[in-house]
Amino acid sequence: MFDTRCMTLIVVSLISLALILTFVGETFFIYAENQTKYAAKLIGNSVVPPVNTTAVGRAIFFISDDWLWWKLNLTGITDPTMADIHMGERGTEGVILADLLNLLKSPKIEKTAERTIVTGNISAYELQGPMKGKTLADLQSAIKALDVYTDLHTKSHPDGQLRGTIKIQSGNTTKPIENTNNTAPSL
């Protein structure tokens, strides 16, 4: 049987833990307020040339003035080797604008039996090709023109397994974004 001191200690411990978790949550979560949400449905049929695959995915991007945060939610993919943002029209191979799996940035990769989730972030100075030296607002303009897509490469499909045009989602979205490296949050 618990005595009163033991019960008091348990209650105080639980309250302390709740306060710590609340503080940590506030410290490590920022809100994507006033950031625009973009997404792309990733399928093999959009790759050039089309790839016959059962794998699918969804890419989500939040863009602010200083950072682009991204998340790839993949089913049927266990070995992503490259993920890029390209500029190019549908049905053509475009030029790379950003390397999402830049090894220097160490994107976070989580694997479960059902899916692989890859998250990370980039800043404007990491843009390449025709976007080199430009701002993330310039990238947003290209996205709005529907000339930007993301693609994913794997060991079994080194030329690309999934691809999708990046499109703006309805309105701005406020969503918690986990800050895993204390410099720039990632989805």
Tens digit of pLDDT for each residue in 3-39?
Answer: 777 677 666 666 765 555 454 333 333 444 457 899 9
> Strand pairing partners for 73?
58, 117
User: Where are the domains positioned within the chain?
Assistant: 1-29, 32-178
* Tens-binned pLDDT, residue by residue, of the chain (187 aa): 557 776 776 666 667 655 554 543 333 334 444 578 999 999 999 999 999 999 999 999 999 988 999 999 999 998 899 999 999 988 899 999 999 998 677 889 999 989 999 999 999 999 999 999 999 999 999 999 888 999 999 999 999 999 999 999 865 444 444 434 433 443 4
Report residue 149 as tokens: 């897509």
Per residue in 91-113, is it b (16+ CB within 10 Å) or e — as a string?
eeebebbbbbbeeebebeeeeee
> Quick one: CATH architecture of 32-178?
Sandwich (2.60)
Pick the closest to residue 123 from 142, 104, 110, 108 (CA basis): 104
d(CA 182, CA 24): 12
Determine the pLDDT at residue 96: 96
Record the pTM: 0.74
Amino acid identity, position 109:
I
Residue 23's Cβ-count burial label (10 Å; 0-12, 13-18, 19+) is exposed
CA 128, CA 171: separation in Å to the nearest integer? 27
pLDDT for 32: 43
Spatial separation of the C-alpha atoms in residues 27 and 43, rounded to whole Å: 36
